[in-house]
Amino acid sequence: MLYHLEATNPLEQCFEKALSNNAHAEAFYQQLSQAKLFILSESSEDAPQAGDGAIAISIKQWYIPLEDGSDHPFTPIFTSQIAVDKAIELMKSEGTEYHGVMELEAATIFQLLLQSGNDMALNPNSNMSKTLDEDEIRYMLLPDFSLVEQRGALVILGKVFSDELPIFAELKEILSNYKRVQKAYLIESNSLNFGRSCTDHALCLVVQFVDDNTDDLSRIRADVDRMQRKMDPNSWEVKVHQMRADVQEPLGQFCVEKAEPFYSQSLFAKMKRWFA
């Protein structure tokens, strides 16, 4: 059962625009990250004050029935008092137990839920709703992520925070076979369909050559493709891109401004090139 919401504040006005046009997504995330939001609690007590141990609050979850008969939990988050009031009316009409409401800073809510691994949805069961992906939350909370437009689509770019993985060594081994590779960056890339949250998660290997070298770029792509065919099919795809000094594009700008080289040509290799 859906309930209808009218935009009652700047956040919801921006939300409506973003739902109809991805171009408004960045403005929406900026508004959302600075807003106060509402969540349902498992107790009737008010939200804890600063220093009272907000980590201990009990947040109410809703459940989505799955095909196998189980229920998948998620945390409903509301963008206004009116939105949460309408949700409560719906809960009461369905006989769902209700206790209390807390109003908290968005960053506080997101940090709590991100740490606990909870799925999140804004204004669920309404005409103004969307799920929130982990990458969207990290983009709002962390300076190491950026929202960019690439070839007409929105993409969330971010640093790779995983520890050293076997794939890292394999990629570095591939790059070491090409003496004209000056450096390379490895970053996360998550295509954004605003209504459906993030999809098409991938790792981007952004390669900078000593000079423009399309032949080596093609060979590196072929090597990476062969490597991926031996990997777990559920692993993230690795996409190979070239960073060119004469072209300003989002991937290259992100690497220069926010990332550190994943691979750099060794001093020995540089000396061999100098004296070649």
Tell me what pLDDT residue 137 has: 93
- pLDDT for position 115: 84
Q: Which residue has the higher pLDDT, 36 or 270?
A: 36
Closest by CA to 57, choosing from 69, 40, 73, is: 40
Residue 255 half-sphere exposure toward CB, CA atoms < 13 A: 25
pLDDT surpasses 70 at 57: no
- Looking at the chain, the whole-number percentage of residues with pLDDT higher than 70 is 89
- Reported as type and span, the H/E element at residue 158 is strand 153-159
| pLDDT the model gives residue 2 | 80
pLDDT at 133 over 60: yes
Per-residue pLDDT tens for 106-121?
A: 999 999 888 888 889 9
25-50 pLDDT, tens per residue? 999 999 999 999 999 987 655 444 43
Nearest residue to 242 (alpha-carbon basis) of 265, 216, 269: 216
Task: Give Cα separations from 220 to 181, 214, 232 (angstroms).
Answer: 10, 10, 20
Q: Is residue 55's pLDDT more than 50?
A: no
- Whether residue 34 contacts residue 48, with contact meaning beta carbons closer than 8 Å, is answered with no
In 3D space, the residue among 186, 194, 240 whose CA is nearest the CA of residue 26 turns out to be 194
pLDDT reading at 273 higher than 60: no
Q: How far apart are CA 181 and CA 210, in angstroms?
A: 6
- Average pLDDT of 54-66? 74
Instruction: Note the pLDDT tens digit of each residue in 207-236.
Output: 999 887 778 999 999 999 999 998 887 788
* Residue 172: band (very low, low, confident or very high) from pLDDT cuts 50, 70, 90: very high
Supply the pTM of this predicted model.
Answer: 0.82
| Residue 266, pLDDT score | 67
* Rounded Cα–Cα distance for residues 261 and 160 (Å): 11
Asked whether residue 267 carries a pLDDT value surpassing 70, the answer given is: no
Residue 56 has a pLDDT of 52
d(CA 122, CA 185): 34
Say if residue 206's pLDDT is above 50.
Answer: yes
pLDDT the model gives residue 47: 46
- Assess whether pLDDT exceeds 80 at residue 247: no
Name which residue leads in pLDDT, 29 or 271. Answer: 29
Average pLDDT, the chain: 86
pLDDT score, position 155: 93
